[in-house]
Amino acid sequence: SEATLAALQGAAGLRGWQWLLLTQGLPAALLGVVAYACLAERPDDAGWLSPFEQLMIEQDLERDEAQLLAAAPAGQLADDAPFTAVLASLLRDRALCLLAAANLLLIGASYALAAWAPALVQRWSEQSHMQPGLLAAIPHLAGVAGMIAIGYDSDRRRERRGHFVACMVLAAGGLALAIAANNGMAWSLAGLALASLGIASAAPLLIAIATDLLS
């Protein structure tokens, strides 16, 4: 982002922030159009799925629909159930409530890291004369590496919950270390790297846990 702002400032009469919006926002918008045009509506229309995979997904969808119909009042379609009845049914689901709480904690940690890290990076760059972009990249690189390594280990062991808890503990410990280090750049940076590693690795694990519990 910093390189885009600096290198493209004034190009074609546009300011740096306008180029930043175009280079980062336009590809995502175009990808949304491509996804809408290319993704199949039903499993039967998905050419990248084998016939067996299509059948398994269709059976899962039919089972979910049957469960919704069974939970709806007599003579009423599942789609016509009152919102309050649907909400009450969801709130009674212990697994769903635990997933929501875990997701809330994960999002809170992610926002804390995103809001707090730039101020630390700016202060470190003044102390060390290093480029802020280079310093800011270190925690994110740790997050990418951790997501790949921990995700691979979780798939290999076929274990999710223990990995997720370990990642959340690592994220909390990293944030605590960054706070405790105060003005110590090396320890604060290490704490942010650990926090980024834990947060980035926990997110896909939570999705996998939700898929296992809700399917």
55-103 per-position pLDDT tens digit: 998 988 888 777 766 665 555 555 555 667 667 777 778 888 899 999 9
Judgement on whether residues 53 and 138 belong to the same structural domain of the protein: no
Give the C-alpha separation, 202 to 104, whole Å. 12
Judgement on whether residues 138 and 208 belong to the same structural domain of the protein: yes
**Higher pLDDT among residues 24 and 204, named by residue:** 204
| Inter-residue contact 198 to 170 (CB < 8 Å) | yes
The residues near 74 (Cβ < 8 Å, ≥ 6 apart) are none
| Inter-residue contact 205 to 163 (CB < 8 Å) | yes
Judgement on whether residues 58 and 158 belong to the same structural domain of the protein: no
Taking residues 146-167, report their average pLDDT.
94
Residue 158 lies in a domain: yes
Residue 44 lies in a domain: no
Give the C-alpha separation, 119 to 122, whole Å. 5
Total count of domains within the chain: 3
Judgement on whether residues 25 and 121 belong to the same structural domain of the protein: no
pLDDT at 129 over 60: no
Judgement on whether residues 61 and 137 belong to the same structural domain of the protein: no
